[in-house]
Amino acid sequence: MPKIEFVSESENKIIFKLTDASYALANSIRRAMKSLVPVLAVDYVDFYVNSSNFYDEMIAHRLALLPIKTDLNRFNMREACSCEGVGCPNCQISFRLNVEGPKVVYARDFISDDPSIHFAYGDIPVLELFKGQQLMIEAVARLGTGKEHPKFQPVSACFYRIIPNIEINEKCDLCKNCISACPRNILEEKEGKIVAKNLENCSFCRECEKVCEAKAIRVIETNNFLFVVEGTGALPVKEVLTRAITILKEKAENFNKHLSEIDV
Ligand code: SF4
Ligand code: SF4
Ligand SMILES: [Zn+2]
């Protein structure tokens, strides 16, 4: 039975082991975290005044990439909202700005319609206005998923590696070539035997196998994985993981329901 065990966790980074899982399940969890858990991102910008050095498109692009603190209990996906996609306070939020130069405009300068929903990092600079320049805009954000556009991805890094098993058979003559060849310092001699430590750090480079003339060492793939996930700041990363698993469960149940309807 697949199991998750956390190695370390903070709001923006989690490291966990997924054990007894197929490659397909590990990859599904990775992909669901990247592309199925929705977050807010700026989707369009109304420019009332822009006398800065930047084209409207450049500013809109920068704003779309600023992570927004997202409360998934507060917003509906636009297509599932009672406004039927027109846009309303339940599915979108505005960030307003009216400033004049000289000034560096930071993410914190935008005034949100709801103070609890704001850009995750206020100290990100957006652009610099010089004397006599003005920017008056309204940026509108909505929920979306990474499947639709990378600006909606809740994670900036999301990867796993297989935690291998290392087997050493009786042909080993303790030449220690594998110990010196290992770039990750995984192998050591203990009580007359070669043993592996910190297997999570093994990069699967198989250098130890290559230098073993006695063909005594084998690096074996397992069904255990080490995940490293970093968030953008839009959602706590642990919430991204739990929501991704919930979404996968719903998809599997739906798939199962459809299969059970087939009459054979
Ligand atoms: S290289 Fe092979 S024979 Fe030499 S110590 Fe390692 S496992 Fe044993
Ligand atoms: S596969 Fe590479 S990293 Fe892993 S134990 Fe062998 S030499 Fe070290
Ligand atoms: Zn709506």
Summarised one tens digit per residue, pLDDT across range 189-243 is: 999 999 999 899 999 999 999 999 999 999 999 999 999 999 999 999 999 999 9
Mean pLDDT for 146-161 is 96
If you measure from the C-alpha of residue 199 to the centroid of ligand 3, how many angstroms do you get, rounded to a whole number?
49
Residue showing tokens 């069904």? 223
Q: How do the domains of the chain map onto residue ranges?
A: 39-147
pLDDT recorded at residue 183: 96
Mean pLDDT for 162-188 is 95
Residues with CB under 6 A from ligand 1: 168, 172-178, 194, 211-212, 214, 216-217
Mean pLDDT for 106-123 is 96
Summarised one tens digit per residue, pLDDT across range 213-227 is: 999 999 999 999 999
Q: What is the CA radius of gyration of the chain?
A: 25
- 263: amino acid identity, one letter: D
pLDDT recorded at residue 21: 97
What's domain 39-147's superfamily in CATH?
A: DNA-directed RNA polymerase, insert domain (2.170.120.12)
Give whole-number Cα distances, 26 to 162, 187, 234, 236, in Å.
10, 27, 23, 20
Residue 68 reports pLDDT greater than 90: yes
Give whole-number Cα distances, 248 to 7, 148, 252, 255, in Å.
23, 17, 6, 10
pLDDT recorded at residue 264: 80
If you measure from the C-alpha of residue 207 to the centroid of ligand 1, how many angstroms do you get, rounded to a whole number?
11
Residues with CB under 6 A from ligand 2: 166, 181-184, 186-187, 202-208, 219
CA distance 157 to 155: 6
- Which tokens is 85 given? 């996609």
